[in-house]
Every structure is written in C-alpha cells, then in structure tokens.
Amino acid sequence: MHYRLLSFITASVALQATYASPALSPEVYDYIVVGSGPGGGPLAAELARAGYPTLLIEAGGDEGENPTYAEIQHFNEAANDEATRWDFWVKHSDDPEREAKFEHTTWDTGDGTFYVGLDPPEGAKYLGIQYPRAAVLGGCAMHNAGVCSLPADDDWNIIVNKTGDTSWEAKNMRKYLKKIEKNEYLLPGNPDHGYDDASWAKNESLSQTRILKKIAELTGQDPKKAAELVSRDILEVGDDVDETVSFYNMAFHATAKGERSSPNSYIRATLADPAGYPLTVKLHALVTRVLFDNATLIPGSTPRAIGVEVMTGPSLYRADPKHVPGTKGPISQIYAKREVIISGGVFNSPQILKLSGVGPAEELKKFGIPVVVDLPGVGENLGDNYEGSLLGIASSPTNNAGQITLLFRTPNAPTKKRNIYAWCGSFSFEGFWPGFPTWYGNKVYTCALVHLAPKSQAGSVKLRSANPQDTPEINFRFFEHGGDHDLQELVEAANILREAWKAAGEPMAPIEELHPCKGPVQPGSERCSDEEQKEYFKLQAYSHHASSTCAIGGDDDPMAVLDSKFRVRGVKGLRVVDASVFPVVPGAFPSCPTMMISVKAAEDIIEEARRTDKKL
C-alpha cells in the first residue's frame, strides 16, 4: 500500500506543561484560532512559525501519544472512543416517515446504552442518525481512516468563477499539497506515479484477480494492464485526470509504518521546536462566542472581532457522551490584536458565528441574540458525499483478498468526469452508529461507494437554542435536488460492481449479497430492479464528509459567507478556515483538501499582515 506522510512530523515530547491554563489577567495574542483540526491546526502552527503570537483553542484534549489514535489501523476504535467522540444526531430529510426507515437509527435506552435499529425497546428516546466528530487536538484527522484524495479541478475553479480570485485555480492549489506532504513512495525522478507490490493482481487463479479484471472490462480499462494499474498514483497530475477511469493505490496521511500523520503532529512539532515559536495551545476550552468592538453599537460602522469568550473545562459540550447535564465551567475573555479565526468544523463554525450575532437575522432574533451582521448563508448550503456499499458473504475466507481502488464513470454520469470513488476488499463499512462496524466474519466482501459531485446541497445547521453548550439541529436533506439522477448513478455503480462479482469463481463464489440486493450473486441471477435499489440507497445512504456551511462566494451572492481570503463578510478581523468554506463538496474525502486550504489561508493572512505592517 502506498502512503504519504504530511510534513507535520510528530515531536517526541511531553507537552502538558506547554498548554495554557486560565489566567487571572487578560490574555492577548496576535491571532486566536478556534479549533485544531485540518483547518485550524496547520494554520495556527504556520502563523506561529511566521513569528506571530498565536493561541490555538481546542475543546478536547491531546491523544497524540495514544496508540488508538497514533496508529491509523485503529481508526474504527478511535471513532468510537468516548475519550474524544462528539455525537451529533442528524437527519437526512424533513420526512419523519422516511427517517424512521433508516436501519441504523439510534436510540437512548435510558440505562447508559444505545439501541441501534428499527424496533427500539419501550421507553427508548429517539436520537437520530449518528454523525461522530472528534474533540481532540488534531480534530477529525485523528479518528478518520486517513484517506488522502484531491478534489476535481472544477471544485477549485468554481471559487475562481465565483470570486475572480485566480489564486484558487487548480493548477495553483497543487503547490499546497506539496507543502503539506512528505512523499514516501514515488520513485526518484518520477513526479507522477507510485509503485507497490501488487503481486496478487497477477495471480490469475485468485477470485479477487478475476473480479479486478472484470471491473476493468466493465469500466473501459485494459484487463491485461489491471495488475499494473492497481499501483497507480491516485494523486497524479494531468490535464485530463478528472476524466481518467482507472484503478489506483490509495494514499493516506500516514507513514509507511501506519503511524498517523495529522495536524496534531505539526502542532506538537511546532511547540517542541528549539526555535521557540510563539504558539500557545489551550485544551478543554469551549468557545462560546466571538467578541466585537463597540462599533457594533454605531449605525453604519463595521464591527471588528477583538477576541473570544471561553468556557474552560472538560466535556462541556452536550455532544460529548461524557457530558454531565448542568455542568458549566469558568468563563474568561481572550483578546486578539489582529484576528480571530474560526476553524470549528462544518457544524460548529456556523454555530459559533450565530451565537456571536453573525448569521440569518430572523434566526438570531428568535433566540434573543443581538444581530451584528445579517448573513443568511451561515449554516446553509450543507452538503456531503452520498455513500453506500455492495456487501456480501463469500463462500470462503476473503481476508487475503487484495484491495481494489478505482475511480470511474457510470454510463449515466452527467459529464465526462468520474462520478464514483470505490474500493473493494475484505471489510465491512455501512456508515456510522455507536459500536460500528458490524462484524460479519472472515468471509465478508464489500465494495464501498462514494458519490462525487452530489447535485444537492440543501442541508442546514440551525441553532437549537442560544446556549453554546447545546448542539445545533442538523438536517442534510439528502436528494432534495437532482436526487433521482444521483440515485441512479449509485445504482449503476452497484450494478457494475455486482456484475464483476459474478466473475469471482471458486473459491469465493457464490457471494451471498446482503445489500442492496439480497441473494446469491452468480451468472444469470437478477434479484432486484433498479427502482428497488434506488429506494434502498435513498433510505440507507450515509455520509461523513460534511462541507460548505460557511461558503466562499462572490460579492453579488447574498448567500456567500466569506470572500476568497476567508474573511467573514460584513465584519473585520474575523475569518473561517475549515471544510465549511468550500462552495461545493470537495471531491471524495475532505481531509487533505482542508489541510491544503489551511496552508493557503496562512499564506494569505501572513501576506496581508506583513503588507499592513509595512504601511504602519
């Protein structure tokens, strides 16, 4: 397997003494960054390395030396771990009847346990669909599977089209990938491709090799080159790369030894550096609102962010399963001489803005929050990849089956560009719920699907109350726009992969499919229609790549929250830098793209600061 290591090298040092504790006198920094994930972590480190005193605030603790988080193979355990998990309970639609059919609906039994399913015990409290996030130094990059994938060029260029800022052109954004990675697998002198031991793909007697070659045939690839293609660099460069159907080798933000490389690593390295960079990290601190200067009281003036209000203590947010109702912490105010940067993530960044008076005026007034600036786009435009899987039980163990990764185009794709990211192997993945995934034994075989460029971004993140400890109301409104076409794309992808399963032969065949079509997969077998599969995906699709709730947009867009330099419209000294800034869902996996924009934001902010300093 190929790996890429972000250049955020882990520091082997105990850092507890470095973390700031609540101070009696006012704290003042040049920059305050709220949130240490892929957006905020690299950004705070870069600002400090440029010489600016920077405070990085994180609501969770530090698990950088905990093997559950440090070793990427334990990502399922990390995502389930109560030590860092924040549970958001979301909806997929406004239709209660449809919601009630989601097979992994979760309920609170009242005895400290969850029930997952459609037949809850009497008295159980409905929670919804689990969407776990990570409250920990390094954010969700500390509990994810570490997959590194790039958006299509169009996903970058849309920002150019909206704002006129050519620094967002896809060809320019590539340099930020180079800045965050330390490549460990490409051969010297070869800038585009990686190579690995894929000897299994050359063994014609293996069932998985026959599946591989059949997929190649069905997707327009050369079956004779399949063994060669499985080692192709998934982050390759090329003018037509977004239209290239091919097998690839997955890239991860991890070392070749499987050690997780994340913002945590870079933060720790920055703190431990002998250069003594001015970075301070405050853990177990929940930001309750952004503070603005008195200009908010002067009609016609532009408010400026001057700091944040913080509640200090562990497990203060109600998404934390360890939260004790009624628990609060001491409140303090911390000030920024230059800027406040919100990097709380797709759910928490819009929540913090709204609690601070930045958002849709009517929603803020509903909760008695004074309006600083009416920005109707805050919390809107929520989007995500649709995900699903073709899962079955083979006739023999599959634990030695080589992994197949491919990007391809279904026959009904709306453009020439690829619309499906898939990977097949001996694993089960069906979404998230407490205790996921289901263990089906050593004969399980799955092809997981990620739908690229979903046509609907109709979801929202809305306040539940004015209490910063409450979680917001989150509704993705799956398939609200263009849903029928998206569903058919998922079905056609499943049909292609199922057809390839029929070529498995002994010893894997026949494979007993569990979903979306129940029954044995074998030549001549057709068990369910496209319409039945569309209904399955409509009810059971899941997601974990949320984006776009504080979207960048043009001056003429009333729903734009940010300009192209991440600045919140209508105020000064306030930016947002995380996956919420993308106008559209960025490719198949947002972790690496978010780290890339984090470094871009640092470059923009530092350039602006130095330009301002020269004028003084």
Binding region for FAD: 136, 144-147, 287
Binding-site residues, please?
136, 144-147, 287
User: Residue 339: CA atoms inside 13 Å, Cβ hemisphere, count?
Assistant: 26
Go through 551-586 and write b for each residue having 16 or more CB atoms within 10 A of its CB, e for each that does not: bbbeeeeeebbbbbbbbbbebebbbbbbbbbbbbbb
**Cα–Cα nearest to 242, from 253, 250, 234:** 234
Taking a C-beta distance cutoff of 8 angstroms, is the pair 36, 282 a contact? no
Residue 510, preceding peptide bond in cis (omega within 30° of 0): yes
Three-class secondary structure assignment of 246-276: EEEECEEEECCCCEECCHHHHHHHHHHCCCC
Residue 188, preceding peptide bond in cis (omega within 30° of 0): no
Q: Which residue reads 């069906």 in tokens?
A: 430
**Cα–Cα nearest to 33, from 61, 6, 52:** 52
Which DSSP symbol is given to 110?
Answer: S
The gap between the terminal CA atoms of the chain, to the nearest Å, is 52
Taking a C-beta distance cutoff of 8 angstroms, is the pair 192, 491 a contact? no
Residue type, 352: I
